Amino acid sequence: MFTPLPVLDRTPRPARFEALAVCGIALAVALLHIATNGRYGFHRDELQFLSDARHLDWGFVAYPPFTPFVERIGMVLFGLSMIGLRMFSVLAQALVIVIAGLMARDLGGGRLAQFAAALAVALSPLPLFSGTEFQYTSFDFLWWVLAAWGVLRLLTTEEPRWWLAIGAALGFGLETKYSIVFFIAGIVLGMLLTPARRYLRSGWFWAGVGIALLLFLPNLAWLVRHDFISYRFLQHIHARDVSEGRANGFLRGQILYGANLFSVPVWIAGLIAFFRSRRYRTLAWMAIIPVAIFYVSKGRFYYVTPIYPMLLAMGSTVAEHWLERLPALVRRILPTVYFAGVAVCGAILIAYRVPVASSGPLREFALKNNGDLREEIGWNELVRTVAAIRDSLPPDQQAHLGITTGNYGEYGAIEILGPQYGLPTPIGTTNSEWLRGYPTPPPTTLIVLGLSPQQANEIFTGCRLAGHNGNSEGIANEESKYHPDIFVCGPPRLPIAELWKKSQNFG
Predicted confidence at residue 421, as pLDDT, reads: 97
- Could you report the per-residue pLDDT of 341-388, keeping only the tens digit for each? 999 999 999 998 999 998 899 999 999 999 999 999 999 999 999 999
Q: What is the mean pLDDT of residues 187-206?
A: 97
Q: Is the pLDDT of residue 11 over 70?
A: no
The reported pLDDT for the residue numbered 3 is 41
Q: For residues 14 and 380, is the Cβ–Cβ distance under 8 A?
A: no
Question: Angle at CA 169, nearest 5°, toward 201 and 173?
Answer: 115
Please give the pLDDT value at position 19: 86
Give 193's DSSP letter. Answer: T
CA distances (Å), 251 to each of 144, 191, 235, 398, in order?
20, 25, 22, 54
Amino acid at 141: F
pLDDT at 62 over 50: yes
**Could you tell me how many residues make up the chain?**
507
Q: With contact defined as beta carbons under 8 Å apart, do 263 and 312 qualify?
A: yes
Residue 14 pLDDT > 50, yes or no?
yes
Q: For a pLDDT cut of 90, what percent of the chain falls above it? A: 94
Give the residue-averaged pLDDT of 276-286.
Answer: 97
Residue 10 has pLDDT above 70, yes or no: no
Helix (H, G, I), strand (E, B) or coil at 228: coil
Distance of CA 468 to CAs 382, 383, 451, 477, 487, Å?
8, 11, 12, 14, 9
Alpha carbon 380 to chain centroid distance?
A: 24
- How far apart, in Å, are the Cα atoms of 168 and each of 145, 179, 210? 12, 16, 9
Checking if the pLDDT of 443 tops 80, the result is yes
Q: Determine the average pLDDT of the residues in 463-480.
A: 93
Who's near 212: CB < 8 A, 6+ residues apart? 167, 168, 170, 171, 174
- Average pLDDT (151-160) is 97
Band of residue 17 on the pLDDT scale cut at 50, 70, 90: confident
For the stretch 403-420, pLDDT in tens is: 999 999 999 999 999 999
Rg (CA), the chain: 25
pLDDT at 9: 58
Is residue 12 very low, low, confident or very high in pLDDT (cuts 50, 70, 90)?
low
Residue 157 has pLDDT above 80, yes or no: yes
For residue 322, pLDDT beyond 90: yes
Instruction: With cut-offs at 50, 70 and 90, classify the pLDDT of residue 13.
Output: low
Q: What is the pLDDT of residue 194?
A: 97
237 near 506, Cβ under 8 Å? yes
pLDDT of residue 18: 81
Q: Which of 5-14, 238-247, 252-261, 389-398 is the least confident region? A: 5-14
Whether 273 contacts 315, CB under 8 Å:
yes
pLDDT value of position 145: 98
pLDDT of residue 6: 52
Is 16's pLDDT higher than 90? no
Give the DSSP letter string of 323-336.
HTTS-HHHHHHHHH
| Cβ(389)–Cβ(476) below 8 Å | no
> Cα separation of 121 and 380, whole Å?
34
Q: How far is the C-alpha of 192 from the C-alpha of 186, rounded, in Å?
A: 10
Mean local confidence (pLDDT), 191-216: 97
Tens-place pLDDT, residues 22-54: 999 999 999 999 999 999 999 999 999 999 999
**pLDDT cut 70: percent of the chain above it:** 97
Nearest to 312 by CA among 93, 29, 114, 17: 114
pLDDT at 165 over 50: yes
121-152 pLDDT, tens per residue?
999 999 999 999 999 999 999 999 999 999 99
pLDDT for 186 beyond 50: yes
Average pLDDT on 10-28 reads 80
* Mean pLDDT of all residues belonging to the chain: 95
Question: What is the β-pairing status of strands 401-404 and 445-448?
Answer: parallel
DSSP track, 16-78:
---HHHHHHHHHHHHHHHHHHTTSS---HHHHHHHHHHTT--S--SSS-SHHHHHHHHHHHHH
Give pLDDT, residue 2: 36
Q: Which of 1, 41, 22, 60 is nearest to 434 (CA)?
A: 60
Q: Where are the beta strands (DSSP E) in 366-432?
A: 401-404
Which whole number is the average pLDDT over 105-123? 97
The residue-averaged pLDDT of 106-131 equals 96
If we measure between CA atoms, which residue out of 163, 127, 169, 162 comes closest to residue 147? 169
Local structure of 263: helix, strand or coil: helix
